[in-house]
Structure 1
Amino acid sequence: MTHPSSSPATGSWTTTTHQHRGRRRALRAGIAVALAAATATAAAACGTSLTGPGTPKAAGTPDPAAAAEAQAFLADWAGGRLDSAASRTTDPAKAQEVLRNFTAGLDLGKPELTPEPAGLQGDHSVRVAFTAKMPVTGLGTWTYRSELPVRKQEGGAWKVDWSMSLVHPRLSDSAKFRLDREDTSPPKVTDRNGAALTGDDLPSLRPVLAQLTKGGSAPRGAIRLVDRATGEVTGTETTFGAEDAKPSDKPPATTLDATWQAAADKALADKAGGKNASLVALRVDNGEILAMANSPATGFNRALSGTYAPGSTWKIVTSSALLIKNAVKPDDVVDCPKYLTVGKEFHNVETSEFPGATFRKDFTKSCNTAFISLRGKLGDSELGDVARDYFGVGQEWHVGIPSYDGSVPVPRDETEKAASMIGQGRIQANPLVMASVTATAASGRFHQPTLVPGGADTTSTKPLPPAVVDQLRSLMRATVTDGTAHVLADLPGEIGAKTGTAEVSEKDPNNGWLVARRGNVAVACVVEQGVTGGGSAGPILHSLLAAVPGDPS
């Protein structure tokens, strides 16, 4: 049986709890009312209005809707939506006109407009400062600060209070901006006679001219503030480009000769047959480069930077080494068999042979086997020594633009020594090197090739013995009259030359070479996969020498 007091006890706890909760609610409500009254009193004292139930706004805080309208205006302006941007102002027609005309003639790209936090002004308008970054095509970025006044309109909407100065503080009915660009195009390059050289007229020179002018100076310009009525400049807003970017008034001069260069370009265009080819012409007496040409005309400068086996044109250097030692004389008999084996089988072009030939005939007919048979007359490093000490090959040349100046490594074995006697193996050269070799053989003295007058010369060489020079001239002349360079025999002048056929690989056709000297000019030409020198490089140099019959001034 349940005790009569148990139920009342439970009921008594429940009732008490509800009473406590009720008293707590009443207490909280009282506190809230008191706080609300206190807040209202404080707000009245401070001049703050409440924008919504329980959402106080401190003094000086702008309406978020005003800031949003300013940001939307900037976003439309930056996005090129000028009609939309203008519609957010108090004068849409004028705003659209000014926003469109502001960029006229300034070459401005898409702007970057970054707003700052909005602030209230004394006249109850909202001010939104912003940073403008205006990219000026080809020059840089024009950066400035301005601000937008935003005012509440009748009906409660916020609008940008239009004025020209919000676009830029100095823009007005009487002042506007103008872009002035300075001409910093690459300076004209001239030839030895002061004639302008251009890549349009002389295609092979395009990459060379870019190297000589280093691509031109950095662009320069300025944004000027000008009077709308008179056009007078009243101030400079910003400038672009370094002070030292202004090009020199004096164009760079070169040793090139426009007549020789034009003839070289035309000779390659007409006679190279679409093959990769290059040539160099230079003065014998001082090494000044008169022309350099490449086919194709643009891209890699094979003439000065190519690395080729020079083939039999190298026999000029080999003959010099033999003649300096008196190891052979032009009229000595040096047999020319079809084949000669030195670790591998060497042969002559078209497996020709000349039994009982003299050294002179070996040179004029370019007999490989005869030259290889004389390898024992030279020490292993002697060919390289003569190339360096007399012809400057392998020394550092300061031409005026980058160049490869040849290499004659000491042969690693007897087979490589045999190959080096005929310009194969690891010997490397290019038309610049071989034109210089030809000039040295003709004059007896190495002159560092130069493209830009007044460059440094750190080379050190010694002159060829006069008797050797006479013998080399005679051998090269006979190669034109009676030998493999007969392609040049119909040209006037005492032309001396040497052909070359350089093996590249067992699968690819040989490169064709020809070097020649006429008067005070030495020339060298290589045609990749030209098969023979006389057949491929011959017509090119014939065209060149026929087009320019005299020496340069």
Structure 2
Amino acid sequence: MPDTQFPTPAARRRPRGGVRAVAAVAVVLALAAGGSYAAGLGPFARGDDGPDPAAMKQARAFLDDWAAGRLPSAAGRTTRPDTAQDVLRSFTAGLDIGKPGLTAKGEPEEAEDGTLTVPFTARMPIGGLGTWTYESALPLREDGDGGWKVDWRLSLVHPRLSGTEKFRLVREETTPPKVTDRHGTSLADGSYPSLTPLLGRIAGGSGGGPRGAVELIDRTTGETVRTEASFGEEPDPATAGEPVRTTLDADWQSAAEKALGEAGGKNAALVALRVDNGEILALANSPATGFNRAASGTYAPGSTWKIVTSSALLLKGAVRPDDVVDCPKYLTVGKEFHNVETSEHPGATFRKDFTESCNTAFISLRGKLDDGELGEVARTYFGVGQEWHVGIPTYDGSVPAPKDETEKAASMIGQGRVQANPLIMASVTATAVSGEFHQPSLTAGNEDRTRTEPLPDGVVTQLRDMLRATVTDGTARSLAGLPGEVGAKTGTAEVSDDQDNNGWLVAHRGNVAVAVVVEEGVTGGGSAGPVVHGLLSAVPDDPA
């Protein structure tokens, strides 16, 4: 499936004579809770207003079919099925594109002729080179029978694809990159599949690694019009041929690759890093080729984000772990939010709200924080949203100020417009249990422009206590049998009506913090839990 991003809140539909009016894509403010989850239950009930469900369903279905390689099905959703199938096949095959990531985003626009245009982001993993990312738009038109079709045109595949210009993939012959783990063990022998697409990036100016480009060419003459995307770097003569030593640990990387097998073939990603200095020990993706979900993905972190929310509340003295914060089944904040399987915990303490991942309790405390305070805490203490220099390209998170009370409620439980990935959430976990943010690193000598403040010792003690209680008495009980003192937080984030929930789990043990996301994993404990358990079982001791 494509990588998950969340559109902005919906505007109400505007009636227009004879044509069904379509408003903005509704924001998915998703349920974020660990443990079991009743499929189909979101955190609030939808009203009758909103986007045309048939149009948006067709747009998402086309993108999903294209991403999954179901090209006949994708083409069948267009106004020109035969042409569409041929073009989609030649585009992906000719450019050696693996499984695309196609994500509808932003607000769709309705033209006067009734055409609906849905913007989307395309992430095209080009075999052995990297990911080509660009923006395009999907036009849809009513088909006369009350349904919708994708109004086929070459420019929807890419804005510059046309009847006169097309794309060509050019590869340069290069020597294999030399990259080792922290102890000098080679990582370039194919034993670590998740690293293969990253080796060129890691090697950088030391030479080696694949190089190539996607060029826009004239269909008639074959001449290059422009270079659309470039991959790899020219080697620095001063360092060419020298191996690059990373912070990775070959044993942890191997265990991480194997642990992702517990995800059952679903798209998933894992990061493990040292708590004391942020050095990345393992970074793994499933599938191993293509987009680097672990460090560049953009996901709602779900209830794992309650670590940051709890920090903000504890820092302000707005709540203490033993304070009673009731956990009702429902809470209405513009929309009706509810808990996993509409569970409730009358008279629960804040500690229990955390360990059982009670959405309504956390949302009820939103008035204790100013509108931009959650983002400020994330940035000031956890480095989220600042510019990180890790050694490879990364997405470093976003926690924008909420636009309204409903979005503020959603941000308290790691939804709305809060965005993160496993690298960010492993770092968040490490910061929470140590009190200090360390910019994650994959190679030595990276520039560090981050500026953060340490968490007070009292807040760290409370966070560690609640994370441990989540393992002993809460939604992460599946980790209770592991050696060592493990603390954890589960998360389950609803994606859309047409997709199962993403499963999350973050954990720490000794000097290591781990974060895992499993796309469409349904629950955090059920999908990400076995992955973390598999990793920590295989490497019971801290790395040297």
What band does the TM-score fall into relative to the shorter chain? 0.5 to 0.7
Contact 1:184 1:246 in 2 (8 A): no
Q: Tell me how far 1:508 sits from its aligned partner.
A: 1.4
Q: Tell me how far 1:198 sits from its aligned partner.
A: 2.2
Partner secondary structure for residue 454 of structure 2: coil
Q: Tell me how far 1:279 sits from its aligned partner.
A: 0.6
Distance 1:276 1:303, change over 3 A: same
* Residue aligning to 1:191: 181
Q: Tell me how far 1:526 sits from its aligned partner.
A: 0.3
Q: Separation in 1 of the partners of 2:461 and 2:210?
A: 53
1:334 to 308, 321, 325: 325
Partner secondary structure for residue 500 of structure 1: strand
Opposite residue 489 of structure 1, the aligned amino acid is: A
| Pairing 1:110-189 to 2, within 5 Å after superposition | 185-189=175-179
- Which runs of 5 or more structure 1 residues have no equivalent in the other structure? 1-182, 220-241
TM-score (norm. length: structure 1): 0.61
Does 1:285 pair with 2:260? Answer: no
Partner secondary structure for residue 184 of structure 2: coil
Opposite residue 282 of structure 1, the aligned amino acid is: L
Partner secondary structure for residue 197 of structure 1: coil
Distance 1:265 1:337, change over 3 A: same
Higher helix share: 1
1:253 to 228, 240, 245: 245
Partner secondary structure for residue 259 of structure 1: helix
Greater relative contact order (Cα 8 A, min sep 6): structure 1 or 2? 2
Contact 2:510 2:542 in 1 (8 A): yes
Does 1:461 pair with 2:467? Answer: no
Q: Tell me how far 1:212 sits from its aligned partner.
A: 1.6
Q: Tell me how far 1:201 sits from its aligned partner.
A: 0.3
Q: Separation in 1 of the partners of 2:189 and 2:509?
A: 28
Distance 1:313 1:218, change over 3 A: closer
2:510 to 514, 519, 523: 519
Q: Separation in 2 of the partners of 1:414 and 1:318?
A: 16
Q: Separation in 2 of the partners of 1:192 and 1:475?
A: 33
Q: Separation in 2 of the partners of 1:347 and 1:322?
A: 21
Partner secondary structure for residue 440 of structure 1: helix
Contact 2:181 2:250 in 1 (8 A): yes
Opposite residue 536 of structure 1, the aligned amino acid is: S
Q: Tell me the matched-pair count.
A: 348
Contact 1:431 1:524 in 2 (8 A): yes
Partner secondary structure for residue 407 of structure 1: coil
CA offsets 1:149-192 (integer angstroms, 9 cap, x no match): xxxxxxxxxxxxxxxxxxxxxxxxxxxxxxxxxx9613320101
Distance 1:217 1:519, change over 3 A: closer
Q: Separation in 1 of the partners of 2:392 and 2:315?
A: 33
Flag as ranges the 4+ runs of structure 1 deviating above 4 A: 242-247
* Residue aligning to 2:491: 500
* Residue aligning to 2:97: none
Contact 1:318 1:421 in 2 (8 A): yes
* Residue aligning to 2:197: 207
CA offsets 1:28-47 (integer angstroms, 9 cap, x no match): xxxxxxxxxxxxxxxxxxxx
Opposite residue 423 of structure 1, the aligned amino acid is: G
* Residue aligning to 1:361: 352
2:389 to 389, 398, 406: 398
* Residue aligning to 2:315: 324
Q: Separation in 2 of the partners of 1:346 and 1:369?
A: 7
Q: Tell me how far 1:451 sits from its aligned partner.
A: 0.4
Does 1:419 pair with 2:419? Answer: no
Does 1:264 pair with 2:230? Answer: no
Contact 2:503 2:525 in 1 (8 A): yes
Distance 1:201 1:326, change over 3 A: same
Q: Tell me how far 1:403 sits from its aligned partner.
A: 0.1
Q: Tell me how far 1:249 sits from its aligned partner.
A: 4.2
Which of 1 and 2 has greater Rg?
1
Q: Separation in 2 of the partners of 1:469 and 1:532?
A: 27
Opposite residue 295 of structure 1, the aligned amino acid is: S
- Identity of aligned pairs, percent? 76
Partner secondary structure for residue 196 of structure 1: coil
Q: Separation in 2 of the partners of 1:416 and 1:311?
A: 14
| Pairing 1:413-492 to 2, within 5 Å after superposition | 413-492=404-483
1:346 to 337, 348, 367: 337
Opposite residue 498 of structure 1, the aligned amino acid is: K
Opposite residue 480 of structure 2, the aligned amino acid is: A
Q: Tell me how far 1:210 sits from its aligned partner.
A: 2.2
Cα-Cα RMSD: 1.8
Distance 1:468 1:527, change over 3 A: same
Does 1:550 pair with 2:541? Answer: yes
